[in-house]
Amino acid sequence: MLLAVNRTLNRMMPLITPLSVLTGVLCGSSLSSYTYLAPWLFAFMTFAGSISLGFKDFVNVLKKPLPLFACLFILHIAMPLFAAGIGNVLYHTDEFTITGLVLAAVIPTGVSSFIWVSIYKGNTALTLSIILIDTMLSPFIVPGVLSLLIGTSVELDAGAMMSSLFWMIVVPSLAGMVLNEWTKGTIAPVWSPRLNPVSKLFMAVVIIINGSVISPYLADINLHLVGLAFVIVLMASTGYMLCFLTARVLRWNEADEVALIFNGGMRNISAGAVLAVSYFPAPVAVPVVLGMVFQQLLASLAGFLLSHRTKVRNSADQTTAA
């Protein structure tokens, strides 16, 4: 039953996040008192996604680290700079929106990228290694890049943010990986089918709570909000395109290319929303929550384009062989 539920939820991923945001907005601020639950729910989600991570694949990837470094460069240098640039050009008087755009760009890659890489036959070992390293570095990278690009224009409690990221992401990730090693990988096939559907439901709950907190800023659909949505889509699309071009220029194989596209294009957007709601004024969370609305939809579009390219390539190969 749980396997069937998980398959259904996987198919519904492009709809779960926007529907959850809509539910939170419709609930108004009535759920904002439950924000203390979000970090704990997210820690469970991280643990559930980490029990399939092992140290062996991580070591193998380190022997050829260029794809790993390229992805980290795009995630934490190129895209945050792009977000800061476009934010200062379009919203130079709105420091909260600029902060939200940079936060949406600098948060670590999402564990859900592993699902998309698996579906489209990418390099899962590289994906797991990127998730692992990015997760471990996030308590230092996220506050550091925000302090560097935002400066003192918005009050930033870097120490508290580092502590939150440590307990939300690093500790549950390490716990999951230690269990994976201790059981020699047998925990993943047994417990992943049980935990994955619960994890996806918890993700929906986290999004609903965060949507409730910022509901006053999303309830009134105006030109500013619509324009911000277009900017978020532009940023995410630029991330996917930058990853694709990087892989093509460096002439990587298709498996590494797929891994880079999804890991560089997706973000741990739920963690970003928890941080935004916990440590910043509510308007900062608006760009991050809008990112939730479009992330899975854009991942679906990227997957469709990759699948279409593969079909065209296979058809051309068959024609050449004939």
In a 13 Å sphere around the CA of 132, the CA atoms on its Cβ side amount to: 24
Domain ranges for the chain: 32-214+222-303
Digit-by-digit pLDDT tens for the chain (322 residues) are 777 777 777 677 667 777 887 788 788 777 777 877 877 887 887 788 778 777 776 677 777 788 888 999 999 999 999 999 999 999 988 888 999 999 989 988 876 677 678 777 788 778 878 877 887 788 888 888 888 888 755 555 667 767 777 787 778 878 888 888 888 888 888 888 788 888 878 878 877 887 777 677 666 778 888 899 899 999 999 999 999 999 999 888 888 899 999 998 888 777 777 788 778 887 888 888 788 777 767 887 888 888 778 777 777 666 776 6
Closest CA to 128 of 200, 61, 46: 61
With a threshold of 0.95, does the pTM exceed it? no
pLDDT number for residue 267? 86
pLDDT number for residue 241? 93
CATH node for 32-214+222-303: 1.20.1530.20
SS (H, E, C) 148-215: HHHCCCCCCCHHHHHHHHHHHHHHHHHHHHHHHHHCCCCHHHHHHHHHHHHHHHHHHHHHHHHHHHCH
Kindly give, in sequence order, each residue whose CB lies less than 8 Å from that of residue 55, ignoring residues fewer than 6 positions away.
177, 181
What is the Cα Rg of the chain in Å? 19
Closest CA to 282 of 206, 205, 213: 213
Q: What angle do CA 233, 237, 240 make, to 5 degrees?
A: 150
- Are the C-beta atoms of 31 and 212 separated by less than 8 Å? yes
pLDDT number for residue 238? 93
Interaxial angle between packed helices 254-265 and 66-73, expressed in degrees from 0 to 180 and rounded to the nearest 10: 30
d(CA 219, CA 236): 23
